[in-house]
Structure 1
Amino acid sequence: MTRLALLRKRFMRNTKRLRFRRPNVGARPGVLVFSDEATETQVNSICYSPDVLRHNPEDLEDLVANKDVLCWIDVQGLKSEVEIKRIAKLASIPDLMLEDIVNVPQRSRSDSVDGRLLIVTRMIRPDKTGAISIEQVSIYVYENIIVTFQEEEGDVFSAIRQRLHNAKGPLRNSKADFLAYTLLATIVDAYFPLLEHMADRLQILEHYALMRPTSGLLRHLVSARNDALRLHRAVKPQKELFAGMLRDKTSLLSEEVRMYLNDSHDHTIQAADVTDTLREMSINLLNLYMSSMANHTNDKMKVLTIMASIFIPLTFIAGVYGMNFDYMPELHVVWGYPAVWIVMAATAMALMIYFYRKGWITDHNRDLDQTLREHFSEIATRHSVK
């Protein structure tokens, strides 16, 4: 493998690329596209009723036919065409819905057709390396069946599985629409820890961009900006997803579930507002970094300029008395050499005092801070409520 190919492979591995769905030009609707880069398919199922819970049952087809039992089939990985088509046949998933499930990524939305509900959303969680992982999750609801399709292995549903095993709360006694809401609400609630982590990360970068801007910091700033943009693209469309589900009166959601969805809708609006703020912070951080680098460069140039300004008259004096003329009276005076040193020292000291009074050597930050505190205190007293 050539060096160029190695560099390209390393770049593609370390870079989070934008993904777009590539439609099959000229193909009929409902054609499935299975990628070789997809994760291997794993299927787990939980079938339960108020009194019974079975994990990965062998008689899954019989339990699906029993309307008193609710079956949650979790598909992780979209590589196996045979396995996915088997689940689609078992759950009676239409071809068009299955196309939206398999051909990722799709726009976040909900579709309700012929007693079937499909919800396409985005799940955000940290991956094995600690980086932010964003994947499409499709939730299919039909009668007593719920099928979740995930792109990667691992999810944020461990708390729901634990609640089902413990038989605590209304989850074991509710219908499929309540489980679908619970899955969707859990995905939204998982946004906030990552958003808080991102905010803390940007605050740390802001401190270093202001106090210690270095060339190595730029890579972290660009990475943080890319992550903030990815979070914004993933979270913001969830507002329209929940709003569409609340507007759709024909969807298979009870009034109780709609009430809960309205609360989750507020959470998505809050999360979207946070991503807007994080995106603006990440962009402003780059501007702050560039300004700080320019200011630090100016400070260094100011020091060098001051040093050069001090040594210019000293160089002039040394140059004058370094000339080889026979008739220079100062050359034959006993006190000539110390007198030159005294003049040079006095000149350097006078220039230092001049630069200090001009504020070129120090910015007098203490005086400025004290003056600003006095002004702020005066403003606070003037606007205080009496």
Structure 2
Amino acid sequence: MTNSPSKFSHRLSQPIEQRYVNYTYDQPGSLPGTLQIKADALPSQIVLIDYNETEAVRVSVAAAKDCAAYLDTESISWIDVQGLGEETFWRQIGEVFELHPVVLEDVVNVPQRPKSEDYGEQLVVVLHMIMMVSEQAQFFHEQVSFILGKNYLLTVQEEPQHDCFGPIRDRIRFKKGTIRQRKADYLLYALLDAIIDGFFPVLERYGERIEALEAQVTDAPTPQTLTEIHQIKRELLALRRSIWPQREAISVLLRDDCTLISPAVKVYLRDCYEHVIQVLDMLETYRELASSLMDVYLSAVSNRMNEIVKILTIISTIFIPLTFIAGIYGMNFNPEASSFNMPELNWYWGYPAVWCLMIAVATSLVYFFWRRGWFTAR
């Protein structure tokens, strides 16, 4: 089954703030465990990977009840549910895996705030997965829920087409590394680490956008540049609100004494936690750069305005004495009435003399401004 292009395009066209941080909430007075499945939710399909140290099998499971046979085996079972489907399906999942109604609510009513909760025989982890869409300046976002049991891991994705778990599937299939020698808690770590590492390409893309904006701000700032700065600041804030709780969710796995996670795997989770810190450091750096771009933009616009004012001032200053001279000779005095009434009007070279005077004044002012460095770009 493939994802509907129209629905996927619709999700990408939504404002980034809505796709990242508008968490779902229950209606006031609703019963615990009330499922609110979106009308455009894709049909559910179950992909099960059962493996041990010697072999690995991948099967498509038709119904939720068929998963029950894999829950009590010694092999590790990764049950990947792709698509949120219908309420009936999830009620069957809840019965097979003996899920608390509140857990079903967190898994189905998306998006939820990232978190980790220990239910004794099960460990529930909710994270957000953000991926860069190939050859597009857009990002895909979905909630991924993990339910860890003794020998199984149940994962829930909103759609079947996009995830960052391909390398993990290949490691299981081709027996790369030690993943097939480990328990289900190590599989949980591997998937969590894949999600966290998926943030780095997204942040690198934001770094490229900020670098391009820096060039625009310093060379030729426009109102569109200001709009892009505001947009990238909003997007980075939304990313921060999505990533920050995931730091807390992984920290809970390290602090709590959950029997489902072995001390050996907690060592790997510490490395995963450090990756989250690196992501947050990069994010905070880009947020500071985006904020500083606003100051640079205002400074560039101010400098540009100062240059314009300087040019206009130079032109006005040059023409002020010329206007003064032209104004004097525009007065209607009769030279015949008195020898003091503009006698130069009767001179043979009077008109060229005034032109020479005006040119000399203008040239002197231009030379004076040049010596003061007013014509040098700053």
TM bracket, shorter-chain basis: 0.7 to 0.9
Q: 2:164 aligns with which of 156, 168, 172?
A: 156
Q: 1:173 aligns with which of 158, 176, 181?
A: 181
Letter in 2 for 1:31: T
Q: Which residue of 1 aligns with 2:211?
A: 203
Q: How does 1:43-192 map to 2 (within 5 A)?
A: 43-58=46-61, 60-61=66-67, 63-127=69-133, 129-152=136-159, 153-192=161-200
CA contact (8 A) 2:122 2:147 kept: yes
Q: What is the CA-CA distance between 1:135 and the residue it aligns to?
A: 2.7
1:20 equivalenced with 2:27 (yes/no): no
Query: d(CA) in 1 for partners of 2:289 and 2:109?
Result: 33
CA contact (8 A) 1:112 1:251 kept: no
Task: Structure 2 unaligned segments of length 5 or more: list them.
Answer: 1-9, 336-341
Q: What is the CA-CA distance between 1:169 and the residue it aligns to?
A: 1.4
Q: Which residue of 1 aligns with 2:36?
A: 33
Letter in 2 for 1:352: V
Comparing 49-58 with 189-198, greater Cα deviation is found at 49-58
CA contact (8 A) 1:38 1:151 kept: yes
**Any idea what SS the aligned residue of 2:156 has?**
strand
CA contact (8 A) 1:76 1:154 kept: no
Q: What is the CA-CA distance between 1:306 and the residue it aligns to?
A: 1.4
CA contact (8 A) 1:163 1:169 kept: yes
Residue by residue over 1:25-54, the C-alpha shift from the partner in whole angstroms, topping out at 9 and shown as x without a partner, is 111221111122444544322222223322
Q: In the superposition, relative to structure 1, how do residues 103 and 58 fare at CA in structure 2: closer, same or farther (>3 Å)?
A: closer
Query: d(CA) in 1 for partners of 2:313 and 2:45?
Result: 68
Residue by residue over 1:316-348, the C-alpha shift from the partner in whole angstroms, topping out at 9 and shown as x without a partner, is 222222334332322222222222222112211
Q: In the superposition, relative to structure 1, how do residues 324 and 94 fare at CA in structure 2: closer, same or farther (>3 Å)?
A: same
CA contact (8 A) 1:134 1:234 kept: no
Q: Which residue of 1 aligns with 2:318?
A: 310
Q: In the superposition, relative to structure 1, how do residues 15 and 324 fare at CA in structure 2: closer, same or farther (>3 Å)?
A: farther
Query: d(CA) in 2 for partners of 1:224 and 1:58?
Result: 42
Letter in 2 for 1:179: L
Residue by residue over 1:139-181, the C-alpha shift from the partner in whole angstroms, topping out at 9 and shown as x without a partner, is 1111222111223441111111111111221112211101001
TM-score, structure 2 as length reference: 0.86
Task: Number of aligned residue pairs: give it.
Answer: 354
1:354 equivalenced with 2:376 (yes/no): no
Comparing 256-265 with 80-89, greater Cα deviation is found at 80-89
CA contact (8 A) 2:250 2:269 kept: yes
After superposition, the CA RMSD in angstroms is 2.3
Q: Which residue of 2 aligns with 1:253?
A: 261
| Aligned-residue identity in percent | 38
Q: Which residue of 2 aligns with 1:262?
A: 270
Residue by residue over 1:350-376, the C-alpha shift from the partner in whole angstroms, topping out at 9 and shown as x without a partner, is 22222233333225x6xxxxxxxxxxx
Task: Structure 1 unaligned segments of length 5 or more: list them.
Answer: 1-8, 366-386
CA contact (8 A) 1:36 1:79 kept: no
Question: Comparing both chains, which one has the higher relative contact order based on Cα–Cα distances under 8 Å and sequence gaps of 6 or more?
Answer: 2
CA contact (8 A) 2:34 2:105 kept: yes
Query: d(CA) in 2 for partners of 1:260 and 1:346?
Result: 82
Letter in 1 for 2:280: A
